[in-house]
Amino acid sequence: MKLFVGLDVSLEKTAICVISEHGKIMREAQAASEPKALARWIGNLDGTIAAVGLEAGPLSQWLHRGMTEAGLSVVLMETRQVKGALKAMPIKTDRRDAEGIARLLHLGWFRPVHCKSVSAQEVRALLSARKAVQQGFITLELSLRGLLRNFGLKVGAISRGRFEHRIRELTADNPMLSAATEPMLRARAALRQELAGLERRVRQLAQDDPVCHRLMSMPGVGAVVALTYRSAVDDPSRFTSSKKVGPWVGLTPSREVVAGIRTSC
């Protein structure tokens, strides 16, 4: 008997629903959200595992990789499509969501999602870390400007290298403002140093990758853009045509007819 397994994944526990090829619920349970625990539970089922389905999410790629290595046929399902289907259910619980995922898998009413390679996920992690540090750095600068503006002290347009000196210059005559801004300046200096290290790492990765090196030969494409595009596409062979990459990332062209001339915008 063919079995279809639906997994509703949360941080600690995963709800599991198993339905037969005839649509009958065979088993329902919970297991730890760990690849080995899930693979062990599914491996103990009586029957042929036709497919295991789970919604794409923060833990899904790690679980997908672990269960695939255990010999299971695992499918990542497109998030918006799954949520749209489960929204119609009158009662929403983890158990019901697992059942809904299993039925979508059984009927084939889902869109599979590509599971990125480990190297692509590592590059995305580095880029995300760089972005988080950069946002923290910018937020601190804006907070310092806003804090001093309440006292009529205007930082003005100034280079990053002179920013710290300018803040100390404005707060030199006010011990309270100096005490408030000094910890923020030290935090800003630490973030600036860490951001510089991440920038060097990102540039080195882009230079060492032949695909990124080729992408950076185009005007306006730097290390960050090249690595972001490279890690997003990951495996070019999953696209049958280069024309399908644009719509995949949301850059769908629209056509308009203006004065009898067809243009793309």
For range 15-23, the mean pLDDT: 94
For range 39-44, the mean pLDDT: 94
| pTM of the model as a whole | 0.79
pLDDT of residue 97: 93
pLDDT of residue 253: 62
pLDDT of residue 25: 94
Residue 249 confidence (pLDDT) above 90: no
- How high does pLDDT run on average in the chain? 90
Residue 70 confidence (pLDDT) above 50: yes
Whether 72 contacts 24, CB under 8 Å:
no
Domains of the chain: 2-107 (3.30.420.40), 118-205 (no CATH)
Q: How confident is the model at residue 255 (pLDDT cuts 50, 70, 90)?
A: low
Segment 117-138, tens digit of pLDDT = 899 999 999 999 999 999 999 9
Residue 13 confidence (pLDDT) above 60: yes
Q: How confident is the model at residue 264 (pLDDT cuts 50, 70, 90)?
A: very low
- Find the range with the poorest average confidence among 45-54, 78-87, 134-143, 167-176: 78-87
For range 209-233, the mean pLDDT: 94
pLDDT of residue 248: 81
Residue, of 84 and 31, whose pLDDT is higher? 31
pLDDT of residue 72: 93
Helix (H) or strand (E) holding 60: helix 60-69
Q: ∠ CA 173-176-179 to the nearest 5 degrees?
A: 100
For range 241-252, the mean pLDDT: 81
> What share of the chain has pLDDT > 90, as a percent?
72
Residue 23 confidence (pLDDT) above 60: yes
Residue 58 has a CB neighbour count (10 Å cut-off) of 8
Report how far residue 119's alpha carbon sits from residue 125's, in angstroms, rounded to the nearest whole number.
Answer: 10
**Between the CA of residue 20 and those of 5, 52, 98, 112, 177, what are the distances in Å?**
9, 12, 14, 21, 69
Residue 161 confidence (pLDDT) above 70: yes
Residue 238 confidence (pLDDT) above 60: yes
pLDDT of residue 257: 39
Residues facing 7 on adjacent strands: 16, 54
Contacts 24+ apart (CB under 8 A), 145-149: 147/177, 147/180, 147/181, 148/177, 148/181
Q: How confident is the model at residue 246 (pLDDT cuts 50, 70, 90)?
A: confident
Eight-class DSSP state of 249? T
